[in-house]
Amino acid sequence: MNILPSGLAIRRAAAEDIDAMLTIGERADRLFAEHGFPQIAALPPTPRSEFHRFVTDNDAWLALWHDVPAGFAVAGQAAGEYWLKEIAVDPARGRRGVGGALLSTVIDHARAGGASRVFLSTFLDVPFNRPFYERRGFTVIEPESASAGLREQFMREVPPGVDPATRTLMVWHS
Q: What is the pLDDT along the chain (174 residues), one digit of tens a residue?
A: 567 788 999 999 999 999 999 999 999 999 999 999 999 999 999 999 999 999 999 999 999 999 999 999 999 999 999 999 999 999 999 888 999 999 999 999 999 999 999 999 999 999 999 999 999 999 999 888 999 999 999 999 999 999 999 999 999 998
Q: CA 11, 22, 7 angle in degrees (round to 5)?
A: 35
Are the C-beta atoms of residues 102 and 5 closer than 8 Å to each other? no
Kindly list the domain boundaries of the chain, sorted by start residue: 8-173
Are the C-beta atoms of residues 23 and 30 closer than 8 Å to each other? no
Global pTM value: 0.95
Pairing verdict, β 59-65 and 8-12: antiparallel
Closest residue by Cα to residue 64 from 19, 107, 136, 5: 5
Q: Which CATH architecture has domain 8-173?
A: 3-Layer(aba) Sandwich (3.40)
Determine the Cα–Cα distance for residues 169 and 138; give it in Å rounded to an integer: 10
